Each structure stands twice: as C-alpha cells, then as structure tokens.
Structure 1
Amino acid sequence: MAQLLNILTKNFPHMETITAMFADSNGIMRGKLLPADTLPKLIKEGILLPASVFGTDATGESVAETGLVWDTGDRDYPFIPVADSFHTLDDEGRNIACLIQMMESDGTPHQLDPRGILETVIARINGMGIYPVIAPELEFYLIDRKLNDGMGQYAPIPVTGEVQPTNQIYGIEAFDEFADVINDIHRTCIHAGVKADTAITEYGRGQYEINILHNKDALRAADEAALLRYHTRRVARRHGIDATFMGKPFADDTGSGFHLHVSLWDDQGNNLMAEQDGADPVSNPALRHAVGGLAQHLGDSFAVFSPNANAWRRIAPGHYAPVDKSWGVNNRTVNFRIPAGSKSARRIEHRAASADINPYLTTALILSAMVDGISNKITPPAMTEKNAYDAPNRAGLPATWAEANDMFAKSAFIKDWLGAEYAKVYVATKEYERLTFDQTITPLEWKWYR
C-alpha cells in the first residue's frame, strides 16, 4: 500500500484530481472525481458507494425491483482501486484516473460487481488447472456530435467537411481521413496501459476496429476493453466529434461488435485448443467441446451479449453479425470462428456480442461456457464450411429481448457461474429498461399513424 502511494506520487508529482471509476452492468463508466490529497485514503480504504449502482439501467435510473435500493436502505460498500490501473488523463499528469471495484467487508470481491464476478470465474477456472488467454476486439463509429431530428449522423471528414460516401473495408485512404483521431486514441490508450494493437477501417462508413493484444491476465484484458471504450469517446470529443459503440447506430450500415479471441492453457504451458502436429484443427476434442459449450449456452447468455433494444437491431444476416450456433475454420460468417494460423496460436473467436456490452460479464460467460463444454464433453453442432447466413442454426435461441431476459433468469448455467443474486438483479434491471423503452411513444408513430 505504501509502495503504491510512493510510486504514484513520484510518477504524478503535479496531480490535482483523481477520477475513480468502474463499469456498471451496462458497461457505462460511473464513479467519483476526487482531489489529489485524498489519494492516501483512496489507496488505504477506497471510497464508499451504494451497491445499487449495479442495479441501474442505461439511463442511470436506479431500479427498485432489484432489491438494492429501498429494501437495503441503499447500503454503501467499499470500492477499492485496481492497483495497476492508475494512469494520466492529460500530458501534464494533473488529472489521473483509476478503476475501482466493489468489495465485501471481508475484502473479497463483491458478486454484484461484474469485475468481481469475472475475477471469481477466473479463479474457479484456474482451480481446474485451466488458464485463459484472451484478446478483445471492439468496433465503433465516429459520429457527429449533433443529432439530426434526434438521429445520429456520420462524422464529417475534417478536411472536406463531408461524410465518407461509401464503405471502405480495410481502406487506407478511409483510415487516413480520420488518422489524427485514431492515432490519438491509440496514443491515449497506450498511456492508459491499454495494449492497443491493430486499428483498421471496418465495413461501415466511419466505422473502425481497434484490437487489444492477447493477455494471460484475462481480468486485466477486460479492464483494457472497458478503458478503450472510455478513452475512445474522450478523444473523439476532444477532436470535435464523438464515438459510439451502439450495436446498430445506422439502419443501412453494419453493426458494431465485441469479438473475443480465447485460448485455454494447462499448467504445463500447453494450449488446450491446439491440435496434434499436421492434424486438422477441428480434430482436437477439447476445441470441439469448447465450441459445444459455447453453442449450448448461447441462448442463456444472449441477455448479456445483446443487452439493449438497439443491440437487437444488429442481429441481421449478411452484415457480419453472426448470432446463431454456427462454427467453422477461417470463416467470418460463423459465430464461433477458428482463425487460420499456426497451432500454437489456435483459438476460438467469439463474434456474437454487441460492442456496447459489459466486457467483464461477456468475458465471464464466454470462458465459463468453454470450460463447461470441455468438462462435460459437450458435442458441438455440425461445422459450417460455407455461408452460415444461408441456413442459420438458431434452435433454442431467443428471438426477442424479452425472451433473452427470461432465458437468462431461468438458466441454471447463469446462476452457477454468475450467481443467483446477480442474475436476479440483472434481469430486474434489464426488464425495467425494456418495458420503459417499449412504452415510449416515438416520432415515427406520430408520422405513420396520426
């Protein structure tokens, strides 16, 4: 504790403020702005916040049905800083930030905090002699800061003031048009300790993807995904535009996803996803069983992978948003993709989740499903070798947001890995949000039905 304080005061001698933040169940950053002289207390005791912050919907409304508000007196819990997450928010080091995590009074991770849930899941998996290595990828759009009749607009190209006229997947000129923004995002992420790697233009106009390097510390990788989203929006606004990780911001363009590359290793340093020398990648039983677990538990996990009304609009064939039980090798139309490459890098890419998910919950469910598949030798569906959109396998999957919440609430798998109490809180929050959304009268209804 004293060592951390010494390091921080040495690294940030001009510190004036500290932003202590966490990702709520929606993946939205919340927290407190603290004066620099509270740093010793923050490190030693943390700060107090109510558990009800994990029972808020996307609008910030505290949902009484979670039982975390009036039923408990809106009780406070300590939020402790994540030691390796301190970083500067400016070049001078006057304003710094850190992630915080809700803890029980005995110092154990609180199981209503998604970060604590993931930490517990990883510890459980490690106890089985399995060690995950993960690499998140996040897609997003650069958008205009102003809405047009309540709708989002593509960001104007800084030099011309016009929007990109066409989709330019992997386009270098399309990248160059917003290179100052993307490069600034990359630099900011590196300063924040986010191991941002490749950046590319995606299929949509003004859509980009940033990859995070693979990490043996899955909890830290999820931290970096949360920080990447936070800093992407901060940097975009600094450039006079904005960024959105909405699953489907534009009806006529592709949606944005959170893709997670996962391999599982044993305590001898062997990649459990790798096949024998010279063998077909799908010949490995462990890999097939991991896919089987992902497929079997996909329906129960949909409430997290598509967590809001807009995310459900992303689920459309032909837009690189596979959301069925398909899997295959080197095939981007499938949901569970086995990328091409050497066997030492053999892994599964999970492609179902919207970009606006909570990265801790999503990672926890993906890892849990893979390990459950291996432990129970779950057989995967037939492998897809051509276009998975031609014959999607959606048997047993929810067709609506309401169905997804219901499956999540009833799932023994969810209660086992995320905890029964958190499952109750999450569903109560999302059902409140869904019903509120459904009861809202839209301008389109007045336009069509008056």
Structure 2
Amino acid sequence: MMNARDVKTADDARRIVEERNLSHVKVAVFDSDGIMRGKYMSRSKFFSSLESGFAFCDVIMGWDSKDQLYDNVTYTGWHTGYPDAPVRILPHTCRELYDEEGQLLFLAELSDQAEKICPRGTLRRVLEKASQMGFDAYAALEYEFFMFDETPDSIREKGYRNLKPFTPGFFGYSVIRNSVHAELYHQIMEMAEVMDFPIEGLHTETGPGVLEAALAVDAAEAAADKAALFKTFMKVLAQRNDLMATFMAKWSPNYPGQSGHIHLSLRNKADNKSAFYDPSQTHSMSKIQRHFLAGQQRLMPELLSMFAPTVNSYTRLIPGFWAPTDATWGVENRTTALRVIPGSDKSQRVEYRLGSADANPYLALAAALGAGLWGIEHEMEPDPEVKGNSYEQQHAPELALPRTLWDSAQRLKSSEAARSLFGNDFVEHFAATREWEEREFRRHITDWELDRYFEII
C-alpha cells in the first residue's frame, strides 16, 4: 500500500485513492487570513480535477474571517457576481487525516488571475525569486497558543468572559503539567507525525493553559504548509477533546501575547552550503546574512501588516511582553525584533521574532524572506547591533513600527518594495482587507468604552 508521503504526482494521487478505495477525499485552500477553506470531494471529481483543476467560489477571497463581504476590494464582490475561481490541486501535499482512518487531505492553491492574490502563490513567487538569485530557503515556525477547558458553545454562552484555562497559573516548561496531561501531549505529537508537520519541541509557556510548539525545519514552501496545517488541526484536535485552542495575538491584557516566530536560513544552490555562515566573520555572519538581515530590518515597518494582520495583533506589540516594538536586531537577544543565531553551516540563521500567532504563515514567511532578498539585492547594511534590553533604549525614528492595523495597511500600500516583491494586485487586495478589518472594529462599542463613558461622560 502506498504511503501518503510518497505521493508526488497526479498518477500517485490516483493510485493511493484507488488502493484505499476512497469514495471521497478532502481538498482545501488557505485564504488571506490563513483560514483553511475546503470540502470533501468525490473520487471521480477529484480524478478529473487532478488534470484540469476545479472551481471554488471566489468569495473565499472576498470575505473576512466572519464571512462578512468586503466592500472595498476590486478582485471580487457584488460588482463581479462572485464567480468561480480556478484552483489547482497539489498532489505532493497529500496527508493522512488524523483520526479519520484512511482518509486523505490534499492542499490546493488559486490559479490564473486569482493566483496574484493567493497567499500560497505569493510565497511561491518569493521563493522563485530566491531560486533565481541562487538560493534555497529553509524555515521553521514556532507557535504559542492558549488552551481552554471550553467548547465553541460555552465560550459564546459566557460572552468570551471568565473562561477556564486548560491549566491554572504560570508554569513555563513544566514537567508536572506535561506529565499529568500526557495523553493530550501524545495526541498532539502523534497527530503532527501522522499529518507530516513534525514537532521538534512541545512545552508549556508562562501563562495559564499556554503551550508552545516548535515545528521542524523544512524547505520554506513545505514549512509554510506545515505551519498552516498545524494551526488548523491543533484547533480541531482541541475541540475533539472538548477543549479550545486560540492563536489570537493576545486574548487577555493580564497575560503575555502569543508569538509566531520564524527561523530562516539560505543555502547556496551551487554547493548546498550555508549562505549565512562565514566563520571568519564576527558572529559567523556572512556578507549575505548581513544584507539579508538589513533588508528585514528596513522593510519591517512597511510589511508589518503581513506579520500583524489583525486589530488584536497590536495589543501584543508593547514593551516588556517579549514582543518587539521597533525594527531592531541583536545576537541571541530576545528583546529585539530580529535575533541572529550564530552556529554552524547547518544552524546559522535569523529568527524573525516580530510575528504573532494570528499571522497567515504563507504571508508572514513571504514577507520575512522577501525583505531579506531585497536587502541582498540592494546590498543593505543593518544598523548597529542592539545589546542589552532593547525596550529600555532609544532607536532611530525610521525603525519605529506602525501602532495600528490601519497605519500598517497604509505603509504596505505605499511600499515600492512590497509591490516589487509581491505584485500590485496582492498589495492592493491585502491592504484593502486590512483596512476593512480596522473599519469593522471601529463599528463596535467595547466594554472599555461603556465602563469609561456610559455614566460619567
């Protein structure tokens, strides 16, 4: 019998479905918010789609995370009648579906005109640029996420207040917690192996019910697939255990925010050696790594909305909560936005610490990598290394990050680098979706406003 990981071609995909005598398979794409949109597809439809693709209503790129229709995008909308968008199935993404015995999942991506705004397609264009420049990119993503002893019904009944964390108190790296709840930890690790997004490390973080999972390194495109799948199916597994997992950037003002850090490195296509490692240089940083780092630093304020894509993202970007507030870098310094990790030919890398857990993995990785390539192209040099606590130091004004989602969207729209790296269609569409997100927030009255103004003002 064929293994899902051996599937590479359309013929392989047909063979494994036939061997398992499946009547249906699951197919899915990821939208602008990194939400997995998909369906069960019949065997005959799947076989025909392997050759000629299939159609998916393009509303998935025309609505927000609550299925509310954008009124400010040009790609789709009432003015186009929400037609179908062509989609290609990617046979090499075949996965076993955990706890759905024998069932298979295939990822897909938007094609033709829709490919210009497709998150996966956007990352692939950046990877093609890296290849043309002579590099292969490798990445590993790690996520913090909070777990609750709640269900989708109970959180709504409670109005998202007074939620019960999966475990109480602050207890980072707790062996007690992961031993008491060993069955769940083993389910998480087993799911990650079965579905091919293996976890290198899994532990409690500081905060009630918070866990951190570090995914294993892989080629960048595969790493993004694995990160997006991990976020989706971690939520699935939690709910199947009558729990809830959230990847919100910050769910409570009383606890730390949740990060989505990205580890990145480049290898030379010519000799498969690290493009970042040069033992003759300070911190073993090659000229290429310096340029890469400088590009990431310089473009960070312009590309922030791709790392911090929600209104909630900006509640995390405050001093003292392990989240950077300026486009800074340091060596093994976790108070800076970019952390250079010296090592060997195998391990020399940059950790992009800015990203939050709510970011779309494809877009966050596209931005982190694209900015670095921009720096290499333009032979940029980084600002001086930050030593010590970055939060307590003054930094150059141009390193300051936008403080709101609206401001971030404006910076993206005006970024020549973003338009060059990702294309005008993507920049216009994604910036518009972030403007919509901010406008939706402005329409609502918060509890803070009622408490502050209702009686007194």
Out of 411, 433, 452, the position equivalent to 1:448 is 452
| Structure 2 residue 32 is the aligned partner of structure 1 residue 25 | yes
Q: TM-score, normalised by structure 1?
A: 0.91
Deviation at 1:103, TM superposition (A): 1.1
Q: 1:73 corresponds to which residue? A: 81
Structure 1 residue matching 2:116: 3-state secondary structure: coil
Structure 2 residue matching 1:294: 3-state secondary structure: helix
| Structure 2 residue 430 is the aligned partner of structure 1 residue 426 | yes
Does the 8 Å contact 1:79/1:102 carry over to 2?
Answer: yes
Out of 108, 111, 125, the position equivalent to 1:120 is 125
Q: Give distance in 1, aligned partners of 2:98 and 2:340.
A: 40
Does the 8 Å contact 1:85/1:192 carry over to 2?
Answer: no
Query: What code does the residue aligned with 2:82 have?
Result: D
Q: Gapped runs of 5+ residues in structure 1?
A: 158-162
Does the 8 Å contact 2:29/2:37 carry over to 1?
Answer: yes
Query: For 1:94-173, what aligned pairs fall within 5 Å after superposition?
Result: 95-104=103-112, 110-143=115-148, 144-145=150-151, 146-147=154-155, 149-151=158-160, 155-157=164-166, 163-165=167-169, 167-173=170-176
The range that moved more, 18-27 or 84-93, is 84-93
Does the 8 Å contact 1:326/1:392 carry over to 2?
Answer: no
Deviation at 1:223, TM superposition (A): 0.4
Q: 2:67 corresponds to which residue? A: 60
Q: Could you list the per-position Cα deviations for residues 231-276 of structure 1 after superposition, in whole angstroms to 9, with x for gaps in the alignment?
A: 1001001111010000001211111111111111112112111122
Q: 1:160 corresponds to which residue? A: none
Does the 8 Å contact 1:189/1:195 carry over to 2?
Answer: yes
Q: 2:370 corresponds to which residue? A: 368
Query: For 1:306-317, what aligned pairs fall within 5 Å after superposition?
Result: 306-317=308-319
Structure 1 residue matching 2:112: 3-state secondary structure: coil
Does the 8 Å contact 2:145/2:357 carry over to 1?
Answer: yes
Deviation at 1:288, TM superposition (A): 1.8
Give the 3 Å change call, closer, same or farther, for CA 90–209 of structure 1 in structure 2. Answer: closer
Q: 2:302 corresponds to which residue? A: 300
Out of 366, 383, 386, the position equivalent to 1:384 is 386
| Structure 2 residue 436 is the aligned partner of structure 1 residue 436 | no
Query: What code does the residue aligned with 2:184 have?
Result: V
Query: What code does the residue aligned with 2:214 have?
Result: N
Deviation at 1:94, TM superposition (A): 5.0
Q: 1:350 corresponds to which residue? A: 352
| Structure 2 residue 284 is the aligned partner of structure 1 residue 275 | no
The RMSD of aligned alpha carbons is: 2.0
Q: 1:89 corresponds to which residue? A: 97
Deviation at 1:23, TM superposition (A): 1.3
The range that moved more, 220-229 or 90-99, is 90-99
Deviation at 1:63, TM superposition (A): 1.1
Out of 12, 34, 47, the position equivalent to 1:40 is 47
Q: TM-score, normalised by structure 2?
A: 0.90
- Percent identity of equivalent pairs: 26
Deviation at 1:152, TM superposition (A): 5.3
Query: What code does the residue aligned with 1:9 have?
Result: E
Give the 3 Å change call, closer, same or farther, for CA 154–345 of structure 1 in structure 2. Answer: farther
Give the 3 Å change call, closer, same or farther, for CA 392–52 of structure 1 in structure 2. Answer: farther
Deviation at 1:340, TM superposition (A): 4.7
Q: Give distance in 1, aligned partners of 2:84 and 2:45.
A: 19
The range that moved more, 256-265 or 440-449, is 440-449
Q: 1:233 corresponds to which residue? A: 235
Give the 3 Å change call, closer, same or farther, for CA 64–289 of structure 1 in structure 2. Answer: same
Q: Could you list the per-position Cα deviations for residues 173-202 of structure 1 after superposition, in whole angstroms to 9, with x for gaps in the alignment?
A: 122343322321221121112122211211
Deviation at 1:16, TM superposition (A): 4.2
Q: 1:197 corresponds to which residue? A: 200
Deviation at 1:419, TM superposition (A): 0.9
Q: 2:13 corresponds to which residue? A: 4
Does the 8 Å contact 2:295/2:380 carry over to 1?
Answer: yes
Q: Gapped runs of 5+ residues in structure 2?
A: 1-9
Q: Could you list the per-position Cα deviations for residues 384-407 of structure 1 after superposition, in whole angstroms to 9, with x for gaps in the alignment?
A: 111111125372321222111110
Structure 1 residue matching 2:266: 3-state secondary structure: strand
Q: Give distance in 2, aligned partners of 1:319 and 1:443.
A: 23
| Structure 2 residue 406 is the aligned partner of structure 1 residue 402 | yes
Structure 1 residue matching 2:265: 3-state secondary structure: strand
